[in-house]
Structure 1
Protein backbone atom coordinates (compact mmCIF):
# COMPACT_ATOMS: atom_id res chain seq x y z
CA UNK A 1 0.00 0.00 0.00
CA UNK A 2 2.76 2.45 0.87
CA UNK A 3 4.54 2.12 -2.51
CA UNK A 4 1.23 2.86 -4.26
CA UNK A 5 0.63 6.00 -2.16
CA UNK A 6 4.21 7.03 -2.71
CA UNK A 7 3.92 6.73 -6.53
CA UNK A 8 0.53 8.55 -6.76
CA UNK A 9 1.09 11.41 -4.34
CA UNK A 10 4.78 12.15 -4.29
CA UNK A 11 5.88 10.76 -7.64
CA UNK A 12 9.23 9.89 -6.13
CA UNK A 13 12.19 9.04 -8.32
CA UNK A 14 12.93 5.55 -9.42
CA UNK A 15 15.91 5.33 -7.11
CA UNK A 16 13.74 5.91 -4.06
CA UNK A 17 11.17 3.38 -5.26
CA UNK A 18 13.89 0.74 -5.47
CA UNK A 19 14.96 1.51 -1.94
CA UNK A 20 11.47 1.08 -0.49
CA UNK A 21 11.13 -2.55 -1.58
CA UNK A 22 13.99 -4.05 0.44
CA UNK A 23 13.43 -1.62 3.25
CA UNK A 24 9.90 -2.89 3.81
CA UNK A 25 11.24 -6.38 4.19
CA UNK A 26 13.43 -5.18 7.00
CA UNK A 27 10.50 -3.57 8.78
CA UNK A 28 10.34 -4.87 12.34
CA UNK A 29 13.88 -6.18 12.23
CA UNK A 30 15.85 -3.02 11.89
CA UNK A 31 14.04 0.11 13.04
CA UNK A 32 17.01 2.32 12.40
CA UNK A 33 16.92 1.43 8.69
CA UNK A 34 13.23 2.37 8.50
CA UNK A 35 13.78 5.68 10.31
CA UNK A 36 16.64 6.60 7.99
CA UNK A 37 14.52 5.69 4.97
CA UNK A 38 11.61 7.83 6.24
CA UNK A 39 13.87 10.82 6.77
CA UNK A 40 15.28 10.32 3.26
CA UNK A 41 11.77 10.23 1.79
CA UNK A 42 10.76 13.40 3.65
CA UNK A 43 13.90 15.18 2.47
CA UNK A 44 13.39 14.12 -1.17
CA UNK A 45 9.63 14.63 -1.23
CA UNK A 46 9.65 18.09 0.38
CA UNK A 47 11.23 19.95 -2.54
CA UNK A 48 9.06 18.02 -4.96
CA UNK A 49 5.85 18.90 -3.15
CA UNK A 50 6.96 22.52 -2.86
CA UNK A 51 7.62 22.71 -6.57
CA UNK A 52 4.27 21.11 -7.32
CA UNK A 53 2.45 23.53 -5.08
CA UNK A 54 4.19 26.58 -6.50
CA UNK A 55 3.87 25.63 -10.17
CA UNK A 56 0.12 26.35 -10.58
CA UNK A 57 0.47 29.62 -8.67
CA UNK A 58 3.27 30.79 -10.94
CA UNK A 59 1.23 29.86 -14.02
CA UNK A 60 -1.83 31.69 -12.75
CA UNK A 61 0.28 34.70 -11.79
CA UNK A 62 1.75 34.83 -15.29
CA UNK A 63 -1.71 34.60 -16.84
CA UNK A 64 -3.02 37.35 -14.60
CA UNK A 65 -0.08 39.57 -15.45
CA UNK A 66 -0.63 38.91 -19.16
CA UNK A 67 -4.33 39.70 -18.87
CA UNK A 68 -3.57 42.85 -16.90
CA UNK A 69 -1.05 44.08 -19.43
CA UNK A 70 -3.38 43.25 -22.33
CA UNK A 71 -6.29 45.22 -20.95
CA UNK A 72 -5.31 48.47 -22.72
CA UNK A 73 -5.50 46.64 -26.04
CA UNK A 74 -9.24 46.15 -25.52
CA UNK A 75 -9.85 49.85 -25.08
CA UNK A 76 -11.65 51.25 -28.10
CA UNK A 77 -10.24 54.33 -29.66
CA UNK A 78 -12.71 57.14 -29.76
CA UNK A 79 -13.43 57.89 -33.42
CA UNK A 80 -13.10 61.40 -34.66
CA UNK A 81 -16.36 63.25 -34.47
CA UNK A 82 -17.90 63.97 -37.87
CA UNK A 83 -18.79 67.49 -36.80
CA UNK A 84 -15.16 68.26 -36.01
CA UNK A 85 -14.05 66.83 -39.36
CA UNK A 86 -16.64 68.84 -41.28
CA UNK A 87 -15.66 71.96 -39.37
CA UNK A 88 -12.00 71.44 -40.27
CA UNK A 89 -12.98 70.92 -43.91
CA UNK A 90 -14.97 74.13 -44.02
CA UNK A 91 -12.16 76.00 -42.29
CA UNK A 92 -9.77 74.81 -45.00
CA UNK A 93 -11.73 76.93 -47.49
CA UNK A 94 -10.13 79.97 -45.85
CA UNK A 95 -6.78 78.77 -47.21
CA UNK A 96 -8.04 78.88 -50.80
CA UNK A 97 -6.93 81.79 -52.98
CA UNK A 98 -9.61 84.45 -53.29
CA UNK A 99 -9.79 84.31 -57.11
CA UNK A 100 -10.28 80.53 -57.08
CA UNK A 101 -12.96 80.76 -54.38
CA UNK A 102 -14.93 83.62 -55.92
CA UNK A 103 -14.73 82.30 -59.49
CA UNK A 104 -15.83 78.83 -58.38
CA UNK A 105 -18.80 80.20 -56.46
CA UNK A 106 -19.67 82.51 -59.33
CA UNK A 107 -19.63 79.58 -61.73
CA UNK A 108 -22.44 77.96 -59.73
CA UNK A 109 -24.87 80.83 -60.41
CA UNK A 110 -26.13 79.49 -63.79
CA UNK A 111 -26.85 76.10 -62.20
CA UNK A 112 -28.88 77.56 -59.34
CA UNK A 113 -30.61 80.27 -61.42
CA UNK A 114 -32.35 77.91 -63.85
CA UNK A 115 -34.47 75.85 -61.40
CA UNK A 116 -35.01 78.92 -59.24
CA UNK A 117 -36.43 80.90 -62.16
CA UNK A 118 -38.73 78.07 -63.22
CA UNK A 119 -39.95 77.56 -59.65
CA UNK A 120 -40.75 81.28 -59.28
CA UNK A 121 -42.57 81.46 -62.61
CA UNK A 122 -44.35 78.16 -62.06
CA UNK A 123 -43.62 77.01 -65.60
CA UNK A 124 -41.08 74.72 -67.19
CA UNK A 125 -38.89 76.25 -69.89
CA UNK A 126 -37.13 73.64 -72.06
CA UNK A 127 -34.65 76.18 -73.44
CA UNK A 128 -33.43 77.07 -69.94
CA UNK A 129 -33.11 73.40 -69.00
CA UNK A 130 -31.18 72.69 -72.20
CA UNK A 131 -28.86 75.62 -71.47
CA UNK A 132 -28.26 74.28 -67.99
CA UNK A 133 -27.37 70.83 -69.35
CA UNK A 134 -25.02 72.38 -71.93
CA UNK A 135 -23.34 74.48 -69.25
CA UNK A 136 -22.96 71.39 -67.07
CA UNK A 137 -21.36 69.49 -69.97
CA UNK A 138 -18.86 72.32 -70.46
CA UNK A 139 -18.07 72.35 -66.73
CA UNK A 140 -17.51 68.59 -66.65
CA UNK A 141 -15.17 68.85 -69.65
CA UNK A 142 -13.26 71.63 -67.89
CA UNK A 143 -12.88 69.58 -64.71
CA UNK A 144 -11.60 66.62 -66.71
CA UNK A 145 -9.12 68.71 -68.70
CA UNK A 146 -7.84 70.29 -65.51
CA UNK A 147 -6.19 66.94 -64.73
CA UNK A 148 -3.99 67.41 -67.78
CA UNK A 149 -2.86 70.80 -66.56
CA UNK A 150 -2.10 69.34 -63.14
CA UNK A 151 -0.11 66.36 -64.46
CA UNK A 152 2.01 68.06 -67.14
CA UNK A 153 4.36 70.24 -64.99
CA UNK A 154 7.66 68.59 -64.08
CA UNK A 155 7.35 69.14 -60.32
CA UNK A 156 3.75 67.91 -60.13
CA UNK A 157 2.94 64.91 -57.86
CA UNK A 158 0.75 63.55 -60.67
CA UNK A 159 2.57 61.89 -63.53
CA UNK A 160 1.45 62.30 -67.17
CA UNK A 161 0.72 58.59 -67.46
CA UNK A 162 -2.21 56.70 -68.93
CA UNK A 163 -4.14 56.75 -65.67
CA UNK A 164 -4.13 60.52 -65.25
CA UNK A 165 -4.48 61.58 -68.86
CA UNK A 166 -7.00 58.93 -69.94
CA UNK A 167 -9.23 59.51 -66.92
CA UNK A 168 -9.08 63.23 -67.65
CA UNK A 169 -10.85 62.61 -70.96
CA UNK A 170 -13.68 60.47 -69.52
CA UNK A 171 -15.79 63.40 -68.19
CA UNK A 172 -15.47 65.15 -71.56
CA UNK A 173 -16.70 62.06 -73.41
CA UNK A 174 -19.69 61.71 -71.07
CA UNK A 175 -20.45 65.42 -71.47
CA UNK A 176 -20.46 65.03 -75.25
CA UNK A 177 -22.86 62.13 -74.91
CA UNK A 178 -25.14 64.27 -72.74
CA UNK A 179 -25.47 66.84 -75.51
CA UNK A 180 -26.62 64.17 -77.96
CA UNK A 181 -29.75 63.33 -75.98
CA UNK A 182 -32.91 65.10 -77.07
CA UNK A 183 -34.55 64.59 -73.70
CA UNK A 184 -33.42 67.03 -71.04
CA UNK A 185 -33.78 64.44 -68.29
CA UNK A 186 -31.41 61.99 -69.98
CA UNK A 187 -28.91 64.74 -70.67
CA UNK A 188 -29.04 65.94 -67.05
CA UNK A 189 -28.47 62.40 -65.75
CA UNK A 190 -25.45 61.98 -68.00
CA UNK A 191 -24.00 65.31 -66.86
CA UNK A 192 -24.47 64.31 -63.21
CA UNK A 193 -22.65 61.05 -63.96
CA UNK A 194 -19.76 62.95 -65.54
CA UNK A 195 -19.53 65.33 -62.57
CA UNK A 196 -19.56 62.43 -60.10
CA UNK A 197 -16.81 60.55 -61.93
CA UNK A 198 -14.65 63.68 -62.13
CA UNK A 199 -15.09 64.22 -58.40
CA UNK A 200 -14.18 60.60 -57.67
CA UNK A 201 -10.98 60.93 -59.70
CA UNK A 202 -9.93 64.13 -57.97
CA UNK A 203 -10.73 63.03 -54.40
CA UNK A 204 -9.82 59.36 -54.06
CA UNK A 205 -8.38 57.73 -57.17
CA UNK A 206 -5.75 59.98 -58.71
CA UNK A 207 -3.03 62.02 -56.93
CA UNK A 208 -4.90 64.58 -54.95
CA UNK A 209 -5.11 68.34 -55.15
CA UNK A 210 -4.65 70.63 -52.12
CA UNK A 211 -7.13 70.17 -49.30
CA UNK A 212 -8.87 73.48 -49.86
CA UNK A 213 -9.45 72.62 -53.51
CA UNK A 214 -10.86 69.19 -52.68
CA UNK A 215 -13.38 70.77 -50.29
CA UNK A 216 -14.25 73.33 -52.94
CA UNK A 217 -14.77 70.55 -55.46
CA UNK A 218 -17.09 68.65 -53.14
CA UNK A 219 -19.20 71.72 -52.39
CA UNK A 220 -19.37 72.74 -56.05
CA UNK A 221 -20.31 69.25 -57.25
CA UNK A 222 -23.07 68.97 -54.66
CA UNK A 223 -24.58 72.30 -55.74
CA UNK A 224 -24.42 71.38 -59.44
CA UNK A 225 -25.95 67.93 -58.94
CA UNK A 226 -28.74 69.25 -56.70
CA UNK A 227 -29.53 71.99 -59.25
CA UNK A 228 -29.80 69.44 -62.05
CA UNK A 229 -32.00 67.22 -59.89
CA UNK A 230 -34.23 70.21 -59.14
CA UNK A 231 -34.58 70.89 -62.86
CA UNK A 232 -35.54 67.28 -63.57
CA UNK A 233 -38.08 67.32 -60.73
CA UNK A 234 -39.60 70.60 -61.92
CA UNK A 235 -39.82 69.23 -65.43
CA UNK A 236 -41.84 66.23 -64.26
CA UNK A 237 -44.05 68.31 -61.96
CA UNK A 238 -44.66 71.43 -64.06
CA UNK A 239 -45.09 69.61 -67.34
CA UNK A 240 -47.78 67.47 -65.71
CA UNK A 241 -49.63 70.57 -64.56
CA UNK A 242 -49.28 72.22 -67.96
CA UNK A 243 -50.69 69.15 -69.71
CA UNK A 244 -53.63 69.10 -67.29
CA UNK A 245 -54.31 72.77 -67.99
CA UNK A 246 -54.28 72.13 -71.71
CA UNK A 247 -56.75 69.29 -71.34
CA UNK A 248 -59.03 71.51 -69.27
CA UNK A 249 -58.90 74.30 -71.85
CA UNK A 250 -59.58 71.92 -74.70
CA UNK A 251 -62.56 70.43 -72.85
CA UNK A 252 -64.04 73.89 -72.14
CA UNK A 253 -63.64 74.96 -75.73
Structure 2
Protein backbone atom coordinates (compact mmCIF):
# COMPACT_ATOMS: atom_id res chain seq x y z
CA UNK A 1 0.00 0.00 0.00
CA UNK A 2 2.83 2.38 0.86
CA UNK A 3 4.61 2.06 -2.54
CA UNK A 4 1.35 2.77 -4.36
CA UNK A 5 0.74 5.94 -2.29
CA UNK A 6 4.33 7.06 -2.85
CA UNK A 7 4.11 6.49 -6.61
CA UNK A 8 0.85 8.42 -6.96
CA UNK A 9 1.81 11.38 -4.75
CA UNK A 10 5.47 11.93 -5.50
CA UNK A 11 5.80 10.34 -8.99
CA UNK A 12 9.01 8.63 -8.03
CA UNK A 13 10.69 6.23 -10.45
CA UNK A 14 10.70 2.47 -10.07
CA UNK A 15 14.18 2.25 -8.58
CA UNK A 16 13.25 4.75 -5.91
CA UNK A 17 10.14 2.84 -5.03
CA UNK A 18 12.06 -0.36 -4.44
CA UNK A 19 14.28 1.50 -2.01
CA UNK A 20 11.45 3.21 -0.14
CA UNK A 21 9.35 0.12 0.37
CA UNK A 22 9.62 -2.63 3.01
CA UNK A 23 13.28 -3.24 2.06
CA UNK A 24 14.09 0.22 3.35
CA UNK A 25 12.42 -0.72 6.69
CA UNK A 26 14.55 -3.86 6.91
CA UNK A 27 17.67 -1.87 6.01
CA UNK A 28 17.31 0.62 8.82
CA UNK A 29 15.97 -1.96 11.32
CA UNK A 30 12.95 -2.12 13.53
CA UNK A 31 13.79 0.62 15.95
CA UNK A 32 12.33 3.89 17.06
CA UNK A 33 14.27 5.95 14.47
CA UNK A 34 12.73 4.22 11.45
CA UNK A 35 10.03 6.81 10.92
CA UNK A 36 12.41 9.73 11.15
CA UNK A 37 14.93 8.17 8.78
CA UNK A 38 12.16 7.27 6.39
CA UNK A 39 10.88 10.86 6.39
CA UNK A 40 14.39 12.21 5.79
CA UNK A 41 14.88 9.83 2.88
CA UNK A 42 11.56 10.82 1.35
CA UNK A 43 12.44 14.52 1.66
CA UNK A 44 15.77 13.94 0.00
CA UNK A 45 14.15 12.04 -2.86
CA UNK A 46 11.55 14.76 -3.34
CA UNK A 47 14.27 17.44 -3.45
CA UNK A 48 16.20 15.47 -6.02
CA UNK A 49 13.10 15.07 -8.14
CA UNK A 50 12.31 18.77 -7.91
CA UNK A 51 15.86 19.62 -9.02
CA UNK A 52 15.89 17.25 -12.01
CA UNK A 53 16.18 19.11 -15.36
CA UNK A 54 13.47 16.99 -16.96
CA UNK A 55 10.75 18.30 -14.69
CA UNK A 56 11.72 22.01 -14.56
CA UNK A 57 9.76 24.02 -17.15
CA UNK A 58 11.78 27.23 -16.65
CA UNK A 59 14.84 25.58 -18.23
CA UNK A 60 12.83 24.76 -21.35
CA UNK A 61 11.56 28.31 -21.65
CA UNK A 62 15.09 29.64 -21.12
CA UNK A 63 16.45 27.55 -23.97
CA UNK A 64 13.62 28.71 -26.18
CA UNK A 65 14.37 32.35 -25.37
CA UNK A 66 18.07 31.83 -26.04
CA UNK A 67 17.30 30.24 -29.41
CA UNK A 68 14.91 33.06 -30.22
CA UNK A 69 17.53 35.78 -29.60
CA UNK A 70 20.34 34.23 -31.63
CA UNK A 71 19.53 36.20 -34.81
CA UNK A 72 22.46 38.36 -35.91
CA UNK A 73 21.85 41.99 -36.93
CA UNK A 74 23.83 41.89 -40.19
CA UNK A 75 21.42 39.33 -41.69
CA UNK A 76 18.67 41.93 -41.73
CA UNK A 77 17.84 43.28 -45.16
CA UNK A 78 18.41 46.92 -45.84
CA UNK A 79 15.37 48.99 -46.38
CA UNK A 80 14.94 50.56 -49.81
CA UNK A 81 15.14 53.99 -48.22
CA UNK A 82 18.72 53.36 -47.09
CA UNK A 83 19.82 52.24 -50.57
CA UNK A 84 18.09 55.23 -52.16
CA UNK A 85 19.78 57.65 -49.80
CA UNK A 86 23.18 56.10 -50.52
CA UNK A 87 22.62 56.37 -54.29
CA UNK A 88 21.54 59.98 -53.91
CA UNK A 89 24.61 60.69 -51.83
CA UNK A 90 26.91 59.22 -54.49
CA UNK A 91 25.17 61.23 -57.23
CA UNK A 92 25.46 64.43 -55.21
CA UNK A 93 29.16 63.85 -54.61
CA UNK A 94 29.74 63.12 -58.30
CA UNK A 95 27.91 66.26 -59.39
CA UNK A 96 29.78 68.32 -56.83
CA UNK A 97 33.15 66.98 -57.99
CA UNK A 98 32.12 67.64 -61.60
CA UNK A 99 31.33 71.26 -60.74
CA UNK A 100 34.69 71.60 -59.00
CA UNK A 101 36.56 70.60 -62.17
CA UNK A 102 38.54 73.28 -64.01
CA UNK A 103 36.36 75.19 -66.48
CA UNK A 104 38.62 74.63 -69.53
CA UNK A 105 38.67 70.87 -68.96
CA UNK A 106 34.91 70.75 -68.42
CA UNK A 107 33.96 72.89 -71.42
CA UNK A 108 36.43 71.28 -73.81
CA UNK A 109 35.32 67.80 -72.81
CA UNK A 110 31.66 68.67 -73.33
CA UNK A 111 32.48 70.29 -76.68
CA UNK A 112 34.31 67.14 -77.72
CA UNK A 113 31.07 65.19 -77.34
CA UNK A 114 29.20 67.31 -79.90
CA UNK A 115 30.45 65.37 -82.98
CA UNK A 116 29.25 62.12 -81.39
CA UNK A 117 25.77 63.42 -80.60
CA UNK A 118 25.34 65.41 -83.84
CA UNK A 119 25.44 62.28 -86.01
CA UNK A 120 22.55 60.10 -84.74
CA UNK A 121 20.36 63.03 -83.66
CA UNK A 122 19.59 64.52 -87.12
CA UNK A 123 19.25 61.04 -88.63
CA UNK A 124 16.70 60.12 -85.97
CA UNK A 125 14.80 63.38 -86.52
CA UNK A 126 14.71 63.04 -90.30
CA UNK A 127 14.16 59.28 -90.24
CA UNK A 128 16.94 58.62 -92.75
CA UNK A 129 20.34 57.00 -92.47
CA UNK A 130 23.46 58.67 -93.91
CA UNK A 131 26.43 56.32 -94.29
CA UNK A 132 28.85 59.24 -94.70
CA UNK A 133 27.91 60.71 -91.35
CA UNK A 134 28.16 57.30 -89.69
CA UNK A 135 31.66 56.77 -91.09
CA UNK A 136 32.65 60.26 -89.94
CA UNK A 137 31.50 59.37 -86.44
CA UNK A 138 33.59 56.17 -86.50
CA UNK A 139 36.61 58.17 -87.69
CA UNK A 140 36.21 60.79 -84.96
CA UNK A 141 35.73 58.04 -82.38
CA UNK A 142 39.01 56.42 -83.46
CA UNK A 143 40.82 59.74 -83.06
CA UNK A 144 39.28 60.24 -79.59
CA UNK A 145 40.28 56.76 -78.45
CA UNK A 146 43.84 57.35 -79.66
CA UNK A 147 43.94 60.63 -77.72
CA UNK A 148 42.73 58.90 -74.54
CA UNK A 149 45.43 56.26 -74.91
CA UNK A 150 48.25 58.72 -75.55
CA UNK A 151 47.18 60.89 -72.60
CA UNK A 152 48.61 58.24 -70.28
CA UNK A 153 52.08 58.75 -71.71
CA UNK A 154 51.95 62.42 -70.76
CA UNK A 155 50.92 61.44 -67.23
CA UNK A 156 53.64 58.81 -66.69
CA UNK A 157 56.66 60.54 -68.27
CA UNK A 158 57.28 63.46 -65.83
CA UNK A 159 59.83 62.75 -63.09
CA UNK A 160 57.55 63.73 -60.21
CA UNK A 161 54.57 61.71 -61.54
CA UNK A 162 53.07 59.04 -59.22
CA UNK A 163 52.76 56.72 -62.25
CA UNK A 164 55.99 55.12 -63.38
CA UNK A 165 56.89 54.88 -67.09
CA UNK A 166 57.01 51.09 -66.92
CA UNK A 167 55.74 48.44 -69.32
CA UNK A 168 52.31 48.32 -67.69
CA UNK A 169 51.45 52.00 -68.09
CA UNK A 170 53.10 52.61 -71.45
CA UNK A 171 52.04 49.36 -73.11
CA UNK A 172 48.44 49.66 -71.94
CA UNK A 173 48.21 53.09 -73.52
CA UNK A 174 48.86 51.56 -76.95
CA UNK A 175 45.94 49.11 -76.73
CA UNK A 176 43.11 51.63 -77.38
CA UNK A 177 44.80 53.11 -80.50
CA UNK A 178 45.29 49.61 -81.92
CA UNK A 179 41.59 48.85 -81.42
CA UNK A 180 40.70 52.18 -83.03
CA UNK A 181 42.82 51.30 -86.06
CA UNK A 182 41.06 47.95 -86.25
CA UNK A 183 37.69 49.72 -86.16
CA UNK A 184 38.61 51.72 -89.27
CA UNK A 185 39.42 48.55 -91.19
CA UNK A 186 35.85 47.23 -90.95
CA UNK A 187 33.61 47.99 -93.89
CA UNK A 188 30.51 47.63 -91.75
CA UNK A 189 29.78 50.60 -89.49
CA UNK A 190 28.22 48.34 -86.84
CA UNK A 191 31.40 46.30 -86.44
CA UNK A 192 33.45 49.48 -86.20
CA UNK A 193 31.11 50.89 -83.56
CA UNK A 194 31.39 47.71 -81.49
CA UNK A 195 35.19 47.84 -81.67
CA UNK A 196 35.22 51.47 -80.58
CA UNK A 197 32.93 50.68 -77.65
CA UNK A 198 35.39 48.00 -76.50
CA UNK A 199 38.28 50.47 -76.81
CA UNK A 200 36.40 53.12 -74.83
CA UNK A 201 35.62 50.62 -72.08
CA UNK A 202 39.28 49.55 -71.80
CA UNK A 203 40.47 53.16 -71.69
CA UNK A 204 37.93 53.97 -68.96
CA UNK A 205 39.06 50.96 -66.93
CA UNK A 206 42.67 52.13 -67.16
CA UNK A 207 41.86 55.70 -66.08
CA UNK A 208 39.50 54.84 -63.23
CA UNK A 209 40.97 51.62 -61.76
CA UNK A 210 44.62 51.33 -62.71
CA UNK A 211 45.61 54.97 -62.17
CA UNK A 212 44.05 56.11 -58.90
CA UNK A 213 46.21 59.31 -58.63
CA UNK A 214 43.89 60.97 -61.14
CA UNK A 215 41.64 63.54 -59.41
CA UNK A 216 38.02 62.69 -58.71
CA UNK A 217 36.60 65.32 -61.06
CA UNK A 218 38.58 63.84 -63.95
CA UNK A 219 37.27 60.33 -63.24
CA UNK A 220 33.67 61.58 -63.12
CA UNK A 221 34.22 63.50 -66.35
CA UNK A 222 35.63 60.38 -68.01
CA UNK A 223 32.65 58.28 -66.93
CA UNK A 224 30.12 60.83 -68.22
CA UNK A 225 31.96 61.27 -71.51
CA UNK A 226 32.29 57.52 -72.07
CA UNK A 227 28.57 56.99 -71.45
CA UNK A 228 27.63 59.68 -73.99
CA UNK A 229 30.03 58.32 -76.62
CA UNK A 230 28.87 54.73 -76.18
CA UNK A 231 25.18 55.70 -76.41
CA UNK A 232 25.84 57.73 -79.56
CA UNK A 233 27.62 54.83 -81.25
CA UNK A 234 24.85 52.42 -80.28
CA UNK A 235 22.22 54.83 -81.62
CA UNK A 236 24.03 55.04 -84.97
CA UNK A 237 24.29 51.26 -85.20
CA UNK A 238 20.59 50.89 -84.32
CA UNK A 239 19.58 53.44 -86.98
CA UNK A 240 21.65 51.57 -89.56
CA UNK A 241 19.97 48.27 -88.68
CA UNK A 242 16.51 49.87 -88.77
CA UNK A 243 17.16 51.46 -92.17
CA UNK A 244 18.39 48.15 -93.59
CA UNK A 245 15.23 46.42 -92.36
CA UNK A 246 13.05 49.08 -93.94
CA UNK A 247 14.97 48.80 -97.22
CA UNK A 248 14.61 45.02 -97.29
CA UNK A 249 10.89 45.26 -96.53
CA UNK A 250 10.38 47.76 -99.34
CA UNK A 251 12.25 45.52 -101.77
CA UNK A 252 10.12 42.53 -100.80
CA UNK A 253 6.93 44.53 -101.34
CA UNK A 254 8.17 45.74 -104.75
CA UNK A 255 9.00 42.18 -105.80
CA UNK A 256 5.62 40.92 -104.62
CA UNK A 257 3.80 43.54 -106.66
CA UNK A 258 5.57 42.33 -109.80
Q: TM-score, normalised by structure 2?
A: 0.70
Among 203, 206, 211, the alignment partner of 2:210 is 206
1:126–1:22 Cα change, 3 Å: closer
Correspondence for 2:141:
136
Among 116, 126, 143, the alignment partner of 2:131 is 126
**Secondary structure in 1 aligned to 2:65?**
helix
Q: Does the 8 A contact of 1:23 with 1:37 survive in 2?
A: no
1:62-73 to 2 correspondence within 5 Å? 63-65=64-66, 67-68=68-69, 70=71, 72-73=73-74
**Secondary structure in 2 aligned to 1:32?**
coil
Distance 1:50 1:154 in 2: 85
C-alpha deviation, 1:243, in angstroms: 8.8
C-alpha deviation, 1:134, in angstroms: 1.4
Correspondence for 1:57:
58
1:1-253 to 2 correspondence within 5 Å? 2=3, 23-25=24-26, 30=30, 32-52=32-52, 57-58=58-59, 60-61=61-62, 63-65=64-66, 67-68=68-69, 70=71, 72-78=73-79, 79-81=82-84, 82-119=87-124, 123-151=128-156, 162-203=167-208, 205-208=209-212, 209-238=214-243
Which runs of 5 or more structure 2 residues have no equivalent in the other structure? 252-258
Which runs of 5 or more structure 1 residues have no equivalent in the other structure? 247-253
Distance 1:184 1:133 in 2: 7
C-alpha deviation, 1:108, in angstroms: 0.3
Q: Does the 8 A contact of 1:115 with 1:231 survive in 2?
A: yes
C-alpha deviation, 1:226, in angstroms: 1.6
Name the stretch that deviates more: 54-63 or 100-109: 54-63
Deviations 1:185-205 (A, max 9, x none): 2212211121122223434x4
Name the stretch that deviates more: 227-236 or 153-162: 153-162
The number of residues matched between the two structures is 242
Distance 2:56 2:166 in 1: 66
Deviations 1:138-178 (A, max 9, x none): 21122233344445566766555555444333222211111
Distance 1:148 1:41 in 2: 97
C-alpha deviation, 1:110, in angstroms: 1.1
Distance 2:23 2:127 in 1: 119
Give RMSD over aligned pairs: 4.2
C-alpha deviation, 1:133, in angstroms: 0.8
C-alpha deviation, 1:104, in angstroms: 0.9
Distance 2:14 2:158 in 1: 84
